[in-house]
């Protein structure tokens, strides 16, 4: 799977000066086992230490957007389960990527201390803090080739996982049993579901005219609520386990729907209570993205527009087999009312074009002028205006004589 060359234009390569004679990359180090938590603290030029098996495209884009100087991964960036796209994006941005770093690195470093990455090792002065395997284009390509060779096995496992998920959630998928009632009215309206995933910024920008004209009910999925705030919108409903959404978004006045486990455990409910809000609980096995779609469909949405969600086979594979089954079956359940944002932006045109508005204004002005000229009162007014215009011309020419 080739990564688009557009990526290099969006995320320019990092350049490091070697004029000081020091090899490698020296920068503050920040570590977190969860990549999406770490990206909230990263600053341009930091060294990121993560524990992320099979770095996906969204996580890689987040790391590159933060402007990191290097990425050290305690796990394997490509395990071989499926051809994930993240490592290629990191290397194409000119960022060193080191895999299989000693797991003890998390206890050996302090947040923000300046360390050096050189030849796959993390150094404090001349002392090795942790060491791993530095990846390059050739090693990543080899790993991707091996992962693609075993893709048929992954697809078979996906089919089995799909059947297992269907058995567990058939009542929910087929009959909507377990979908909670919400206060926000959706019946007969368009719904816009925003996930902070693939190209969400570009899609939101392309949908501005559509949002302004149709005013859909907006559902933010976890961090998607923050993406909406960044774009100048406010969520009507926020769905998720609330582990990657800000307090600002949760306090924006949206109706909150906590995605809970099937056994009823809802870790996000405690956070909502601490903020002094009420929430609806939706127990389901799938992802929060799937929960949002089922919620909109059950509430009577006539059209569901998805931003940042998984739509293509490549994106399904990049998500990983464990989460593919629920999303695949949910899309089948929602059916024809689900439209990807890219399709809307390509097909949608505002019902009233700017030229139509200009023509209407011109016709209105012409009508006013004709009516004024043909009526007695209008003729008196036109005589008055003509006299005022002659007086202005007399005054103006007098300035130069």
Tell me the pTM. Answer: 0.64
Q: How many angstroms separate the CA atoms of 398 and 391, rounded?
A: 11
Q: How many angstroms separate the CA atoms of 59 and 198, rounded?
A: 10
Predicted pLDDT of residue 178: 77
Task: Pick the more confident residue, 170 or 268.
Answer: 268
DSSP state of 336: G
Q: Which domains does the chain possess?
A: 6-148 (3.50.30.10), 150-347 (no CATH), 355-388 (no CATH)
User: What is the helix (H) or strand (E) element at residue 112, kind and residue range?
Assistant: none
DSSP state of 304: E
Predicted pLDDT of residue 8: 43
Rg for the chain, CA atoms, rounded: 29
Q: pLDDT tens across 322-339, in order? A: 556 677 777 777 877 888
Q: How many angstroms separate the CA atoms of 78 and 81, rounded?
A: 8
Q: How many angstroms separate the CA atoms of 307 and 197, rounded?
A: 8
- Tokens, residue 256: 């909150």
Q: pLDDT tens across 8-61, in order? A: 444 444 444 444 445 789 999 999 999 988 998 999 999 999 999 999 888 998
- Tokens, residue 374: 């043909």
């Amino acid at each position: 799977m080739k990564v688009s060359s557009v990526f290099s234009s969006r995320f320019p390569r990092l350049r490091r000066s070697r004029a000081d004679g020091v090899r490698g990359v020296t920068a503050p180090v920040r570590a977190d086992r969860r990549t999406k938590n770490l990206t909230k603290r990263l600053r341009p030029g930091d060294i990121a230490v993560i524990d992320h098996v099979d770095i996906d495209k969204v996580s890689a884009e987040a790391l590159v957007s933060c402007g990191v100087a290097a990425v050290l991964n305690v796990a394997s960036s490509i395990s071989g389960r499926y051809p994930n796209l993240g490592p290629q994006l990191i290397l194409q941005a000119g960022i060193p990527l080191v895999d299989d770093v000693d797991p003890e690195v998390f206890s050996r470093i302090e947040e923000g201390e300046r360390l050096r990455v050189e030849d796959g090792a993390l150094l404090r002065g001349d002392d090795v803090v942790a060491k791993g395997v530095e990846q390059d284009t050739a090693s990543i390509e080899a790993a991707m080739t091996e992962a693609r060779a075993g893709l048929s096995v992954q697809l078979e496992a996906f089919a089995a996982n799909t059947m297992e998920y269907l058995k567990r959630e058939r009542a929910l998928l087929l009959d909507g049993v377990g979908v909670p009632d919400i206060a926000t009215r959706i019946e007969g309206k368009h719904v816009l579901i925003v996930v902070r995933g693939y190209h969400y910024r570009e899609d939101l920008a392309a949908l501005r005219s559509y949002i302004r004209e149709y005013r859909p009910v907006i559902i933010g999925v976890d961090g998607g609520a923050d993406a909406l705030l960044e774009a100048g919108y406010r969520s009507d409903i926020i769905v998720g386990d609330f582990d990657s959404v800000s307090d600002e978004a949760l306090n924006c006045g949206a109706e909150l729907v906590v995605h809970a486990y099937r056994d009823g455990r809802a870790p996000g409910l405690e956070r909502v209570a601490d903020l002094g809000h009420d929430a609806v609980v939706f127990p389901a096995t799938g992802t929060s993205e799937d929960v949002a779609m089922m919620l909109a469909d059950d509430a009577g949405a006539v059209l569901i527009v998805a931003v940042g969600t998984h739509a293509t086979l490549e994106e399904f594979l990049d998500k990983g087999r464990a989460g593919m089954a629920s999303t695949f079956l949910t899309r089948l359940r929602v059916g024809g009312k689900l439209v990807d944002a890219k399709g809307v932006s390509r097909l949608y045109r505002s019902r009233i074009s700017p030229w139509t508005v200009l023509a209407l204004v011109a016709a209105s002005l012409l009508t006013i002028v004709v009516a004024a000229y043909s009526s007695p009162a209008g003729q008196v007014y036109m005589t008055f205006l003509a006299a005022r215009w002659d007086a202005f011309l007399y005054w103006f020419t007098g300035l130069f004589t």
